[in-house]
Amino acid sequence: MIFYAADDEPLQLRLLERSIHEADPTAQLYSFTCGEDLLQALKEGNAMPDAAFLDIELPDIGGLELAYQIKQRTPLTNIIFVTGFSQYAQEAYAVRPSGYVMKPVSKEKILQELQNLRHPIEVKDAGKLRVQCFGSFEVFDHERPVKFKRGKTKELFAYLIDRRGAACTTGEILAVLWEDDADSRKNSYVSNLSADLIQTFQELGHEDVIVKHRGVLSVVPDHVCCDYYDWNKGMSYAVNAYHGEYMSQFEWADMTLGGIEQSMRYYKGPGWED
């Protein structure tokens, strides 16, 4: 699903972003602090929203007027008003919105609205594996943690995710996962880990996530939902989900962490970590 979210208060917008992502981890979310920016994005036509979560009291274009203009351009966009003031309810319903969420926003309130949309949306990518890279590395299938038979199998998958679809040879995997202890005798162990990883995903119905060809392994990025991948696309929920940790249980991930830190300074400016 593609969602727009608009609120001129940064803290409220961040809470709305988090609640939407918790309700639908696969959503593409575009956030705005003013209505003019949202309309500009809509005019450019880069991403037509399935739903727009709008604060009613926006400083430039009020949420009600913004809803009318969205409806003119994309009639099937579900309008969901988000506000702390109940007195707007009667006027808001003249727009024929899909829903009305009272602040403070929560995952439960967002889920309730998504389950009762005026214009139902075909849920895309709902069956994909969800991969969490920020914080510790974790993998979820339908929001249940995936259990790997070996710790190294999980680490192998983490490295493939980190490489974002690049082909990884046995020698490269040995050098990264075992560092100074890499030994050609572990080649057979890497083969066993690869087989274990492929079998694990086959049993879960996700055999399309890993590609193996002549001893070379890679992940298929489009077949997983991953916060790190969405961060690379500049999606706001993923940028805000980063709190200084990336695959924290793996030392080799520090190189990617350094790149993220450098990029975050660009996103938020000098001294953002303070």
CB 127 within 8 A of CB 25: no
Please state whether beta strands 138-141 and 129-132 pair in parallel, antiparallel, or not at all (unpaired).
antiparallel
Confidence of residue 122 (pLDDT cuts 50, 70, 90): low
30-44, 137-151, 205-219, 226-240 — which is least confidently predicted?
Answer: 226-240
pLDDT 10s digits, 210-227: 999 888 999 999 999 899
Calculate what percentage of the chain has a pLDDT beyond 70. 88
Of 1-5, 112-116, 192-196, where does the model show the most confidence?
Answer: 192-196
pLDDT 10s digits, 98-108: 988 999 999 99
Confidence of residue 208 (pLDDT cuts 50, 70, 90): very high
Q: In what order do the strands lie in the sheet with 28-32?
A: 28-32, 2-6, 51-55, 78-83, 99-102
Confidence of residue 43 (pLDDT cuts 50, 70, 90): confident
Task: Report d(CA 23, CA 26) in Å as an integer.
Answer: 9
CB 15 within 8 A of CB 21: no
Check residue 15 and report its DSSP letter: H
Confidence of residue 273 (pLDDT cuts 50, 70, 90): very low
Smallest Cα–Cα separation from 201: which of 124, 128, 125, 123?
128
Confidence of residue 173 (pLDDT cuts 50, 70, 90): very high
Q: Which domains does the chain have, with CATH numbers?
A: 2-114 (3.40.50.2300), 129-264 (1.10.10.10)
The model's pTM: 0.62
159-to-61, 75, 137, 153 alpha-carbon distances in Å: 46, 43, 10, 10
